[in-house]
Amino acid sequence: MSPEPLIAVRDLESSCHWYQSVLGLRSSAAGVDDETLLCGERVVMRLRPWDTRHHPHLGRPDSSARGNGMLLWFRTDDFDAAVLRVRQQAAQVLEGPGVDPNHGRREIWLRDPDGYVVVLAGPEGEVAA
């Protein structure tokens, strides 16, 4: 089993661009109504415009609580390249880059264009505590 989170976004094209340029993902170019983002050939996440016809349990676009209690957490084997992309795209950094001493890895916390918190983390144990 592997997770494939789906998040609702205001502007599908803009959000797709953000996740591709900041996280280095690529679009499967599958459809007009949603985006499937890949790392290599593996599905990492899905983006869908705020349209509850297909997914009535996503929530409401008029609610200000975006992902309350949820983090979009991504592990990367090349943390330095990820941080470079973050800086090149001038993504909003909430915290870091820094070290999580509990897991011995580097992390950087971001906010995506829709207000979701995105964490990029290096491999566990890469940094001595």
Report pTM: 0.82
Q: What is the pLDDT of residues 44-58, one digit of tens each?
A: 999 988 875 666 667
Lowest mean pLDDT among 7-16, 19-28, 55-64, 88-97: 55-64
- Rounded-to-integer distance, Cα 1 and Cα 31, Å: 24
Q: Does residue 97 contact residue 85 with C-beta atoms inside 8 Å?
A: no
Collapsing DSSP to helix, strand or coil, 89 comes out as coil
Q: What is the mean pLDDT of residues 5-18?
A: 91
- Rounded-to-integer distance, Cα 81 and Cα 83, Å: 5
Q: What is the mean pLDDT of residues 107-118?
A: 93
Domains of the chain: 6-52+70-121 (3.10.180.10)
Q: Write out the E strands in the chain.
A: 6-9, 26-27, 35-39, 42-49, 72-75, 92-100, 105-111, 117-121
The count of C-alpha atoms lying within 13 angstroms of the C-alpha of 65, restricted to the half-sphere facing its C-beta, is 6
